[in-house]
Amino acid sequence: MRARFFLLALLPLVAASCGPMGGGGGESHYMSGFSGKREHDWKSSPIPDDVSYWDGDHMTGPASIKINLTQQKAFFYKGGQLAGVSKISTGKEGRGTPSGTYKVNMKNKWHRSSSYGVFKEKGTDRVVDDDAEAHNEPVPPGCYYEGAPMFNYLNFAPAVGMHTGYLPGYAASHGCVRMPDKMAQKFFENAPVGTPVTVER
C-alpha cells in the first residue's frame, strides 16, 4: 500500500518534468529531437535502431546513395558495394520527399533551416514560438528567428536534403531525409558533391 501511494505521489512530478514534444525546452517543434543545450547533442530515437550500420571505411570506389521511401531506409554504396544502411524519416503526407534521380549539389556541416525554426526573445534567448515558419509569419517585435538545426546537410533536390534529425519511426519531415546523427555524419563524410542520389518508392 505504501509503495502504491509513493508511486502515485510521484506521478505529478514525472508529468511536470516532461515538456510537450514540440516545445518548452528551447528546441524547434520541427526538429523536436534536438536538444538546445549543445548543438551536437541529440536525443535518442524512441524506437530501437536495429537497422543502421556502417562498414565502408575501408571500401573504395565512387559513392552513390539510394533512398527507399517505402522501407524508410537509405543505402550508401562505394564502387557498387553496400557500405552502409541507415534508417530514415522522409516527408510526411502532403510534403513528401520527391522520387527521382539527383546528385548531391551542396554540403553544409552546420546547416540550419531557412524555413522552419524558432522565434527567440532578444537579450534573453527565451523561445516564444517553437513552431515558427520564417517565410509565412512575421518575426514578433523584440525577437529574432533561429533556424532548426539540419547538421551534416547533403542537398540533392530543391530545398530537400539528408541531415541529422529526429526519427519517430515513420515519415514525418517536411520533405527532407532525416537520419540518426552517426549515420548522417558517415554519409556526409563519404559523399562528395556530385554523388548520385536515387529516391525510389
Catalytic residue among 29, 111, 163, 174: 163
Q: Which residue has the higher pLDDT, 38 or 147?
A: 147
Catalytic residue among 29, 111, 143, 176: 176
Lookup result for grid cell 540518426? 180
Alpha carbon distance 23, 68 (integer Å)? 30
Alpha carbon distance 159, 147 (integer Å)? 14
Alpha carbon distance 30, 163 (integer Å)? 13
Domain boundaries defined on the chain: 25-37+50-200
**Residue 141: pLDDT band with limits 50, 70, 90:** very high
Give the pLDDT of residue 3: 45
Give the pLDDT of residue 52: 94
Mean pLDDT throughout 78-82? Answer: 97
Alpha carbon distance 173, 165 (integer Å)? 9
- Structurally, at CATH architecture level, domain 25-37+50-200 sits in Beta Barrel (2.40)
What element of type H or E holds 5?
helix 2-17
Q: Which residue has the higher pLDDT, 133 or 78?
A: 78
Please say if the pLDDT value at position 9 is more than 70: no
Alpha carbon distance 64, 95 (integer Å)? 25
* CB of 166 closer than 8 Å to CB of 151: no
Q: Is 163 a catalytic residue?
A: yes
Give the pLDDT of residue 114: 85
Q: Is 28 exposed, middle or buried (0-12, 13-18, 19+ CB in 10 A)?
A: buried
Q: Is 135 a catalytic residue?
A: no
Q: pTM score, two decimals?
A: 0.75
Q: What is the pLDDT of residues 39-73, one digit of tens each?
A: 334 444 455 677 899 999 999 999 999 999 999 99
Nearest to 165 by CA among 3, 27, 9, 67: 27
User: Residues 104-128, buried b or exposed e (16+ Cβ, 10 A)?
Assistant: beebeeebbbeebbbbbeeeeeebe
| Percentage of the chain lying above the pLDDT 90 cut | 63
